[in-house]
Structure 1
Amino acid sequence: MRGNIQEQAAADCYDRPHGRPRQRVLLVVLALLALQIGSLISPAYACGCGAMVPGAQSRMTVDHETAVVDWDGRREQIVMRFTVDSDAPEAAWIMPVPGRAEVELAENALFDELAEITAPVHRERSYFWPRDGDWPLGSGYTDGAAAAPLPGEAAGVGVVGREQLGDFDVARLTATDPDALRGWLTENGFQLPDGLTADLDPYVRQGWEYVAVRLAPREKGAVLRGTLDPLRLAFASDRPVYPMRLSRRAENSQALSLFVLAGHRMEPRSAIGGDEPEVTYAGKVGPYGAVGELTGRKERFLTAFEQDFPRPERINGDHELRAADSDASFRRVVYDDELLTVAGMPVWLMTLGAAVAAAATAVVLRVRSRRRNAVPLSAA
């Protein structure tokens, strides 16, 4: 039987030339964009609900959302990849960022490498007494395997750039008034939830900008389904941050899987209204492969987190990341528990059989001894 997962600090660093998680439906979904001037998409319900928003009369779920943050002390990069299941021909979302962003497609190999680097170590561990599934508690003992053209600008809103990247139509916006930003989105075909203006206000007051993305497959009749190409956002930042505030509009529980590449082991300043973040990996990575391409061929310390948000309405800010107290390495260990056997025979059964045989032999010998030592009645 495959069993318990145990986490263990590693004494050494893992510097690997090569190196995907638990689901978190993206952070923000306000949304927008038309394919060309004068052409608006069908209305979509845009909300900061941690999920991409499909067009009207469409359905979409985000099965996996994985994000990578790379920070060199002055510049931050965020790479995101989504796996979706939908019948929607288009969807949209918006990401607040603290500075003027560059946007481009990223490589899927980045996530494959990170998944390999952070994979838990498997170790075998034997147990003596049978468990559920082992004979005689089940049908038989197991082999150890577990049962695997932008619309025009409005007052207070500026369009600073637009790119077509694969299936993504990307707009970069500024806003000096949250009501103006909300109005611009609404005028361009999106219904926005109550409370959105209040959620945008902190970003507007801090002078943040916005990356608005419309996803529309260029192939006629295609829908958004499967793993989408990853997007990379890069911007100047004197501190690493992962925007989360708009996810408080989510109607369902959220999950975050985050890889952080920086000079040191990193940690969130707080849980921002969710469960305590769980570190799943910490260690140095070398300047190789797709990870090295992202970091500019610089060595980084990689910290991987997972966090659940059972009640998204409690999210009260963005993840501000800071250096941990130490650069201690850490790696999960998965113990593959197997019933202890010799030549295919359970040791517990052999031991029990031997004990029964020994006890039976002792009883026989004792009886025989008593018979030999018994005094005949005629001699009395």
Structure 2
Amino acid sequence: MRWVRVAVAVLLVSLVGAANPAWACACGGYLPDAESRARVFGENALVRFDGTQEEIVLSMSVQGQSKKAAWIMPVPTAAKVELGDSDLFQRLQSVTRPKVVTRKTYWPFRDLGIMGGGRGDSAGAAPGAAVDVRQQMVLGPFQVARIAGTSGTAVTDWLGQNGYAVPAGLAENLTPYVTEKWEIVAVKLAPKEAGESMSGATPPLRLTFPSSRIVYPMRLSKGASTAQTVTVYVAAPYRVDASTLPVADVKPELLYAGRVQGESYAQLAAPTSFLTAYSVTYRDPSRITDDFAFTRASTDEEFQRVRYVTENDGLLSTLAIVLGVPLLLGIAAAFIAVRVVRRTRPGQ
């Protein structure tokens, strides 16, 4: 069977009649309700792959407030949809943060690159129907519908008829996935209490499906209207390289590579215990033409960023340096002078 790339795309507001709303999300779009100006400025995703199955856990970072929102998620085969762990990404950020190394310095040499000071980071449808509604369910704060369509237009028509705002260009951007026979997971999200607004990070949602390779969706992101930052954590039996990029000349930054163990990281248990993390910002999302694809790296060498912190060693050490250096220089000068005088005396 020919596997195609997975996509997780388009956050939409659940509001009928919004005219040509702006997209803003690394995975496709976030549309606030008509009374707000909320935008998604980034996303965190954990991609787990054990060789036969892939799992994506996704959470969006929202700036501003919105009363309703929705996700549209194309997947290559029928996916199991569940709620994700609410503090997953906090733990991942903790394990992948830079190692802090303290360097001593001595006033007045501080921040001059002298005495070991340093700055910065270093590395190291039912047949014949236009849309087939396969399943509808309520999952925590989400209302989930799994659908299949004969065209991108058929899918967006169904979305519009069921309370989703449809941005210009969505049908065109969905067409490659529909052509490749992907299933569409449409997910609505609303606040817990009526009248409340949503802001901050969206609750994580987990999708699990069969796959023979590691992919992360980005093709729908070309519809985003603002710069987007994407951080992808890949858990696999081995270290991975980003072998296919959404924008060929925009390289992601490697944040971390290493084996993760411990009860706090049960989701990264063997065989998917090697974690590789990348982050990238797309300042012009319209240039995105492909998904991320990850393949096994040539080595399982571990990597962790290093952040250097400069500290002054204290008053006494400073005085020792400030007073001691001239004193030593004076003693040396006196010794040299004595030697010179002795050599110039008659008979010496």
1:1-380 alignment, distance < 5 Å: 28-29=9-10, 31=12, 43=18, 45=21, 47=23, 49-50=25-26, 51-62=29-40, 64-127=42-105, 130-131=109-110, 155-273=129-247, 275-286=250-261, 288-289=262-263, 291-292=265-266, 294=267, 298-339=271-312, 343-345=316-318, 349-350=322-323, 353-354=326-327
Identity of aligned residues (%): 37
CA contact 1:77–1:234 (8 Å) conserved in 2: yes
- CA 1:105–1:125 in structure 2 vs 1: closer, same or farther (change >3 Å)? same
Distance 2:250 2:157 in 1: 34
The Cα RMSD (Å) is 3.7
Deviations 1:60-110 (A, max 9, x none): 133552100001111111011234333321112212211111111111232
Q: One-letter code of the match for 2:278? A: F
Q: Decide which moves more: 325-334 or 167-176.
A: 167-176
Q: How many residues align?
A: 326
Q: One-letter code of the match for 1:289? A: E
Deviations 1:189-210 (A, max 9, x none): 4443333333212111211112
- CA 1:363–1:297 in structure 2 vs 1: closer, same or farther (change >3 Å)? closer
Q: Decide which moves more: 345-354 or 51-60.
A: 345-354
Q: One-letter code of the match for 2:260? A: V
CA contact 1:27–1:48 (8 Å) conserved in 2: no
Q: Decide which moves more: 227-236 or 108-117.
A: 108-117
SS at match of 1:269: strand
Distance 2:13 2:144 in 1: 10
Q: Which runs of 5+ in 1 are unaligned?
A: 1-25, 34-39, 135-142, 147-153, 374-380
CA contact 1:29–1:46 (8 Å) conserved in 2: no
Query: How does the TM-score come out when normalised to structure 2?
Result: 0.79
Could you say which structure has the larger radius of gyration?
Answer: 1
- CA 1:355–1:41 in structure 2 vs 1: closer, same or farther (change >3 Å)? farther
Q: Which runs of 5+ in 2 are unaligned?
A: 1-6, 121-127
Distance 1:352 1:83 in 2: 54
Q: Decide which moves more: 44-53 or 155-164.
A: 44-53
Deviations 1:162-220 (A, max 9, x none): 23222222222212211211222233344433333332121112111122221111312
SS at match of 1:345: helix
Q: One-letter code of the match for 1:130? A: F
CA contact 1:43–1:189 (8 Å) conserved in 2: no
SS at match of 1:221: coil
CA contact 1:48–1:249 (8 Å) conserved in 2: yes
- CA 1:317–1:347 in structure 2 vs 1: closer, same or farther (change >3 Å)? farther
CA contact 2:16–2:160 (8 Å) conserved in 1: no
Distance 2:96 2:36 in 1: 36
Query: How does the TM-score come out when normalised to structure 1?
Result: 0.73
- CA 1:362–1:306 in structure 2 vs 1: closer, same or farther (change >3 Å)? same
- CA 1:30–1:120 in structure 2 vs 1: closer, same or farther (change >3 Å)? closer
Deviations 1:137-183 (A, max 9, x none): xxxxxx9999xxxxxxx942222222322222222221221121122
